[in-house]
């Protein structure tokens, strides 16, 4: 299934900047970065639980925010892209 991970990490402090790096590094293990703070992760349900667990250990729940969007298995028609492309499409994601 395709999970979109979007996050806002408070980078006012050094620890916040560290959290930001760790969140990105963790997401990179599971998927592609499509925007500064957005990853698309093609994961099994069990991998998704591990990803969530790793991210929950990193973020500060009082200061950071994460949104997870589950696009399911048939996700390519659910994604549209406009403008500068950041990554090589995983498969035939619709370009408009």
Footprint of its own copies (CB under 8 A) = 4, 6-8, 10, 34-38, 52, 55-56, 59-72, 77-86
Residue set of the binding site for Mg(2+): 8
Distance CA 77, CA 66 (A): 24
CA distance from start to end of the chain: 23
**Residue 2, burial from CB neighbour count under 10 angstroms (0-12, 13-18, 19+):** buried
């Amino acid at each position: 299934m395709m999970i979109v991970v979007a996050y806002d990490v408070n980078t006012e402090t050094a620890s916040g900047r560290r959290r930001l790096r760790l969140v990105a590094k963790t997401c990179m293990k599971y998927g592609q970065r499509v925007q500064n703070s957005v990853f698309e992760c093609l994961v099994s349900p069990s991998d998704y639980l591990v990803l969530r667990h790793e991210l929950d250990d990193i973020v500060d729940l009082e200061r950071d925010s994460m949104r997870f969007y589950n696009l399911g298995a048939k996700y390519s028609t659910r994604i549209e892209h406009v403008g500068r492309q950041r990554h090589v499409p995983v498969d035939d994601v619709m370009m408009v």
